[in-house]
Amino acid sequence: MTRKCISCKKNFEIEKEDLAFYKKIGPVINEKKLAIDPPRECPSCREIRRWAYRNQSSLYKAKSALSGEEMISLYPPITEYTVYKENEWWTDKWDPLSYGQEYDFSRPFFEQFFELQKKVPRRALQQDGTNENCEFTTYGTSNKNCYLAFACSVCEDVYYTDWSHQLKDCIDCIKCVGGELLYECVDSNNCYNSMHLKDSNACRESFLLEDCQSCANCICCKNLVEKEYYYFNKKISKPEYQKIVEEAKKDDFKKLEEKFNKWKKSQPARFARIIGSEECTGDNIFKCRNCKKCFDLLLGAENCRYCYFCGGGAKEMYDCNMAGQGSELIYEMQATVGSYNCAFINFCRISKNCYYSDSLGSCDSCFGCIGLNHKNHCILNEQYTEEEYKRLLPKIIEHMRKTGEWGRGFPIKNSPFPFNDTSAYELHPISKEEALTKGYLWNDNKVLPQDESKMTKDVYQCVSCLRKFKMIPHELFFYERMSVNKPKQCFFCRRKERLKNRISYSLFERECVCEESGHGHEGRCKVEFETTYAPDRPEKVYCEDCYQKSII
């Protein structure tokens, strides 16, 4: 089935498996399935739309709408939304059902929902209560002494880092797990005392590595396994290694990094990191099965499509970001855990049979609701009996079909965040002019709130954007311990560079370019695959078999 995307106007395909899923997902009323209509946006536009409802890293100093106390918030001070401090939101000082409103069939659903959304209190940081001394972090769980660490869990003394787990004493990392003393590392796990690693695992005392496994004391290497004292993939002595490292640290690895970036393009590049998985396409997929066009998926995900940063036993999920962990039959979700048969929700915890809602916890059969916990059979935060709910919901869905809203995700223009504060802008940047033309919010006053009592007195100016910034004492101690120079870019610009160094979320059809004999073929391999490496990129992209046979 071919459709034209209503956003980008490009044609896209809806496969038979997709149609079967859309028929399967949806409310069941009186043993009748109310199937969700197929999407009218292409997968890429759907992805961007979901990310537009997630501000992960832009923080502001504001005041709680409940107590008036100062707080750090994901929402600018001029926001139209009602925002409470985290500890206030979880109290019984307010009742989300008090904002309930009856459904008005003379008006579109989205219009009613977004009016309600501005009234119902929102959490300032989406933080977990188990964090300690982590005031300037978001979406965190069980962290201690972290600063500007976003979507991190079980981390200690971690700064300026995203999407990471079980790190200690790390700065400027993204999507790393189980590491200590790491600086500027990307997609690298179980590493120690290393810098500038990418897609590497179990490496220690190493610098400027890419796609290396179980290496020690290596520098400027790619595609190595279980090697020690290597330089540009050549064996060197320990004294030679130490001399190279000392010289490189003097200019903060900049010259060596430039040389390495040119050299690594001559080395084979793995078409995708799909490891321990079956019947999967995309990139960064680990121990999954039958997951198509997915990215950053891990740990037992099955039968998923168009998902990003998901896993933890997720099953039958379509179009989800930051979701999984025991969830099943989920569609168009941004952040969920332990949920079943839900669709079109931002932030959903341990809920089932819920649709078109925001910030739900332990709910069942709720529609168009916001901020509810342990509630059943609610519509627009109005409580109904089970019989009333079953009688009213089919009428609402039929009304949404007539208005063209049923099966559509929340429009970007109604996001509570300025577009340039969101993950959508970080992953798919557009100009201010384009954003305003599309009706998106925009924020020209992006500032980084800081606790002046914890900052050093020295003020630095970013060499890229000229923004002024300060550092914290532990940060300076870290740079001294790692023998690296203090950064010349601000947090925003450093983070932007790290994000650019990750995989893209676009797939291209290419052929393996391996021409070496002995790889099971004569002449050029030409095995076809989907990869994030665009056809015009200079890397020598290999299929999995040829890549494995080429590594040292």
Output the tens digit of pLDDT for each of the chain's 552 residues.
999 999 999 999 999 999 999 999 999 998 889 999 999 999 999 999 999 999 999 999 999 999 999 999 999 998 999 999 999 999 999 999 999 999 999 999 999 999 999 999 999 999 888 899 999 999 999 999 999 999 999 999 999 999 999 999 999 999 999 999 999 999 999 999 999 999 999 999 999 999 999 999 999 999 999 999 999 999 999 999 999 999 998 888 889 999 999 999 999 999 999 999 999 999 999 999 999 999 999 888 999 999 999 988 899 999 999 988 899 999 999 999 999 999 999 999 999 999 999 999 999 999 999 999 999 999 999 999 999 999 999 999 999 999 999 999 999 999 999 999 999 999 999 999 999 999 999 998 877 777 777 788 899 999 999 988 999 999 999 999 999 999 999 988 999 999 988 878 999 999 999 987 555 666 789 899 999 999 999 999 999 999 999 998
Please give the Cα distance from 512 to 403 (Å, whole number): 48
- Tens digit of each residue's pLDDT (9 = 90 or more) over 326-347: 999 999 999 999 999 999 999 9
What is the dihedral sign for C-alpha 513, 515, 520, 525?
Answer: positive
Q: What is the DSSP letter of 129?
A: T
Instruction: Give the β-pairing of 460-461 and 468-469.
Output: antiparallel
Q: At residue 425, what is the residue type? A: Y
DSSP H helical segments within 16-125, as ranges? 16-24, 43-51, 86-89, 109-119
DSSP H helical segments within 179-253, as ranges? 238-250
How many angstroms from the chain centroid is the CA of residue 36?
26
Q: Angle 254-263/238-250 helices, nearest 10 degrees?
A: 110
Instruction: Give the β-pairing of 180-183 and 340-349.
Output: unpaired
Q: At residue 458, what is the residue type? A: D
Please check whether residue 144 is in contact with residue 152, taking contact to mean a CB–CB distance below 8 angstroms. Answer: no
Please check whether residue 1 is in contact with residue 19, taking contact to mean a CB–CB distance below 8 angstroms. Answer: yes
Q: List phi, psi (to 5°) of 475.
A: -65, -45
- Tens digit of each residue's pLDDT (9 = 90 or more) over 22-43: 999 999 998 889 999 999 999 9
Domain borders along the chain are 2-42, 147-270, 274-403, 452-489, 508-550
Please check whether residue 171 is in contact with residue 181, taking contact to mean a CB–CB distance below 8 angstroms. Answer: no
The answer for residues whose C-beta is within 8 angstroms of residue 184's C-beta and 6 or more apart is: 171, 172, 173, 195, 196, 498
Residue (of 398, 401, 399, 361) closest to 378 by Cα position = 361
Q: List phi, psi (to 5°) of 334.
A: -120, 100
Can you give the pTM of this predicted structure?
Answer: 0.94
Q: At residue 75, what is the residue type? A: Y
Q: Angle 109-119/386-403 helices, nearest 10 degrees?
A: 120
Please check whether residue 267 is in contact with residue 278, taking contact to mean a CB–CB distance below 8 angstroms. Answer: no
Please give the Cα distance from 155 to 130 (Å, whole number): 12
Q: List phi, psi (to 5°) of 253.
A: 70, 5
Residue (of 279, 330, 271) closest to 503 by Cα position = 271
Please give the Cα distance from 299 to 310 (Å, whole number): 9
Instruction: Give the β-pairing of 207-210 and 216-222.
Output: parallel
Where b means 16+ CB within 10 Å and e means fewer, 184-205 reads bbbbbbbbbbbbbbbbbbbbbb
Q: Catalogue the E-assigned strands of 241-327.
A: 268-270, 274-275, 282-286, 289-292, 294-298, 302-311, 315-321
Instruction: Give the β-pairing of 376-379 and 382-383.
Output: antiparallel
Please give the Cα distance from 428 to 426 (Å, whole number): 6
Q: At residue 92, what is the residue type? A: D
Please give the Cα distance from 546 to 12 (Å, whole number): 32
Please check whether residue 184 is in contact with residue 178, taking contact to mean a CB–CB distance below 8 angstroms. Answer: no
Q: Count of residues for the chain?
A: 552
